[in-house]
């Protein structure tokens, strides 16, 4: 599920990691949005909160990526809790594996249900064609309130907040004699050496799967640089890949792990599913991934108390390290729903009350809420500096596509990680970038 999200995000985001940024912020005016009375009624519905049982009823079809939660009964549990207040509500779950592709078809054929996760690649100007504006009250105190907005109306509410760092197996650390979480780069290397000496794979990098290693590139450089709009500068720069910027910082660390034998031995095969079992059982010590992977490790057999999470120490300064803050999928109500009022209530409940954010390993969407996950509490105990993702200039992706640099795909990063000369790789990428930039007239 997460792999599909990241690949879908790659189509539209000017900086990576999250399926958040609309690509067409500067498009012409859209077609007419939904009628004002429907939106007004929605606001009245959500604002009229009470603790009593409601007569509001109908069937809600919820289309999402969550095949896991459909299969393990989590969605049914959420529905049962929702029906305590709305006993006349009925639900149908549609969970899709290849969501990025299938939701596009469902939107155009009118089969996107009443509530769905928004298509990450859908231009902002097209949101009114498929979705109903959400009540403003849903966005009070919410992160990323305007990410899915068009002409003053909001069409999507984030379902969770993601960050990124080192997910580790505490039992593996104990076996290797590591009694302190690394807070500098040298300490991270020292921990990796101890894990290797204990015959534990220090860091399962998933070089063969490719998409996870984008964290050493597009999905990591922007926050290490401390700039949510880091990529904008390269629209006017003929050589984005430099040793003295965040590209050089992160990719050098990744290469060091590979060169020292601190990663899996097989760097060619996609062993993503296998790797989860390796980290869960302590055969591997660490991942460099997002908080979303923590529940997957527990599902793969790890004891919750054995999994920890800390910010990547990308230098030796210590102290507060930059980490990202960005949204996971957004949720919205179909323009064609016959039960919009109930659908609005479900969206609010799903994000605020159901427990979905904790179950998914996410940070809360609402700033006033705190996570109940011990791993995220541990992560925050290191007092990281959160860098919030923002929409960046779409010309960056356009130049990358023209240059045939697979931004957010990982293939060129794979090559850099195993090459003998990182500067030669950077020179080749910069030559491609310059040529594409000139061809596009930028």
Q: At what angle do helices 411-418 and 422-440 cross, to 10 degrees?
A: 150
Give Cβ neighbours of residue 63 (< 8 Å, ≥ 6 apart).
Answer: 94, 96, 103, 106, 112, 113, 115, 116, 117
pLDDT at 16 exceeding the cut of 90: no
**Nearest-angstrom CA–CA distance, 318 and 84:** 49
Q: What is the DSSP string of 369-398?
A: -----HHHHHHHHT--EEEE-----THHHH
**Predicted pLDDT at 409:** 87
SS (H, E, C) 30-95: CCCCCCHHHHHHHHHHHHCCCCCCCCCCEEEEEEECCHHHHHCCHHHHHHHHHCCCCCCEEEEEEE
Distance of CA 255 to the CA centre of its chain: 24
pLDDT at 355: 95
pLDDT higher than threshold 90 for residue 290: yes
Measured CA to CA, the distance from residue 33 to residue 279 in angstroms comes to 48
Q: Give the per-residue pLDDT at 19.
A: 34
- The residue-averaged pLDDT of 215-240 equals 96
- Whether residue 324 has pLDDT greater than 70: yes
What's the mean pLDDT in 275-289?
99
Select from 150, 102, 111, 139 the least CA-distant residue to 334.
111
**Looking at the DSSP assignment, which residues form a beta bridge with residue 116?**
63, 332
Is 30 a residue whose pLDDT tops 80?
A: no
Report all structural domains of the chain as residue ranges with CATH numbers, in order of start: 58-160+327-370 (3.40.190.10), 163-325+390-440 (3.40.190.10)
**pLDDT at 438 > cutoff 70:** yes
Q: What pLDDT is attached to residue 390?
A: 81
Residue 329 has a pLDDT of: 93
Give the tens place of pLDDT for each residue, 407-437: 988 999 999 999 999 999 999 999 999 999 9
Average pLDDT, the chain: 89
415/437 Cα distance (integer angstroms)? 23
Q: What percent of the chain has pLDDT over 90?
A: 81
Write the pLDDT tens digit of every residue in 94-120. 999 888 889 999 999 999 999 999 998
pLDDT attached to residue 134 = 99
pLDDT tens digits for 143-168? 999 999 999 999 999 999 999 999 99
pLDDT of residue 101: 84
Segment 203-224, tens digit of pLDDT: 999 999 999 999 999 999 999 9
Q: Which of 333, 353, 329 is nearest to 83 (CA)?
A: 353
Q: What is the pLDDT of residue 402?
A: 96
Check pLDDT > 50 for residue 196: yes
For residues 250-279, average pLDDT: 98
Which pLDDT score is estimated for 294?
A: 97
- Residue 221: closest CA among 282, 164, 156: 164
Tell me the DSSP string of 149-202. EETTEE--EES-EE-EEEEEEHHHHHHTT--S---SHHHHHHHHHHHHHTT-EE
Q: What is the mean pLDDT of residues 170-192?
A: 99
Residue 39 has pLDDT above 80, yes or no: no
Q: Does pLDDT of 78 surpass 90?
A: yes
Q: Are 285 and 202 in contact (CB under 8 A)?
A: yes
Distance CA 195, CA 189 (A): 10
Average pLDDT over residues 272-278: 96
Local confidence band at 51 (pLDDT 50, 70, 90 cut-offs)? low
pLDDT for 17 beyond 50: no
pLDDT at 38 exceeding the cut of 80: no
Render pLDDT for 343-377 as a digit per residue (tens, 0 to 9): 999 999 999 999 999 999 999 999 999 898 999 99
Compute, in degrees rounded to 10, the torsion defined by CA atoms 17, 415, 275, 204.
-90
Q: What pLDDT score does 339 carry? A: 97
pLDDT exceeds 50 at position 393: yes
Question: What gap in Å lies between CA 61 and CA 115, rounded to an integer?
Answer: 6
- Centroid of chain to Cα 263: 23
Q: How far apart are CA 436 and CA 252, in angstroms?
A: 26
């Amino acid at each position: 599920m997460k792999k599909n999200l990241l690949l879908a995000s790659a189509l539209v985001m000017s900086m990576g990691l999250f399926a958040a940024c609309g690509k067409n912020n500067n498009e012409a005016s859209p077609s007419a949005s939904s009628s004002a009375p429907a939106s007004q009624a929605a606001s009245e519905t959500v604002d009229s909160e009470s603790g009593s049982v409601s007569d509001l009823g109908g069937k809600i079809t919820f289309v999402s990526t969550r095949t896991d939660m459909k299969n393990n009964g989590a969605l049914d549990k959420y529905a049962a809790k929702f029906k305590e207040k709305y006993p006349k509500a009925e639900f149908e779950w549609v969970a899709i594996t290849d969501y990025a592709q299938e939701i596009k078809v469902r939107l155009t054929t009118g089969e996107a249900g009443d509530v769905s996760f928004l298509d990450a690649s859908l231009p902002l100007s097209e949101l009114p064609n498929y979705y109903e504006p959400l009540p403003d009250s849903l966005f009070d105190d919410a992160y990323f309130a305007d990410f899915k907005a068009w002409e003053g109306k909001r069409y999507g509410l984030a379902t969770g907040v993601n960050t990124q760092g080192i997910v580790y197996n505490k039992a593996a650390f104990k076996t290797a004699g590591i009694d302190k979480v690394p807070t500098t780069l040298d300490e991270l290397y020292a921990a990796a050496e101890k894990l290797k000496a204990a015959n534990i794979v220090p860091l399962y990098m998933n070089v063969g799967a490719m998409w996870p290693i984008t964290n050493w590139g597009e999905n990591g450089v922007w926050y290490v640089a401390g700039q949510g709009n880091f990529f904008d500068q390269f629209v006017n720069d003929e050589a984005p890949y430099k040793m003295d910027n965040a590209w050089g910082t992160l990719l050098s660390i990744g290469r060091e792990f590979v060169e020292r034998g601190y990663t899996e031995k097989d760097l060619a095969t996609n062993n993503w599913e296998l790797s989860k079992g390796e980290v869960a059982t302590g055969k591997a010590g660490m991942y460099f991934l997002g908080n979303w992977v923590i529940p997957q490790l527990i599902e793969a057999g790890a004891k919750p108390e054995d999994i920890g999470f800390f910010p990547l120490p990308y230098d030796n300064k210590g102290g507060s390290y930059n980490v990202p803050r960005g949204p996971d999928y957004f949720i919205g109500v179909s323009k064609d729903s016959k039960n919009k009022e109930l659908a609005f209530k479900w969206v609010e409940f799903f994000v605020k009350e159901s427990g979905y954010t904790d179950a998914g390993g996410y940070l809360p969407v609402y700033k006033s809420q705190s996570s109940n996950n011990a791993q995220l509490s541990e992560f925050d105990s290191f007092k990281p500096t959160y860098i919030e993702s923002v929409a960046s200039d779409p010309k960056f992706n356009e130049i990358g596509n023209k240059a045939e640099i697979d931004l957010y795909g990982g293939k060129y990063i794979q090559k850099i990680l195993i090459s003998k000369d990182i500067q030669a790789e950077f020179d080749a990428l910069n030559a491609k970038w310059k040529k594409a930039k000139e061809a596009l007239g930028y």
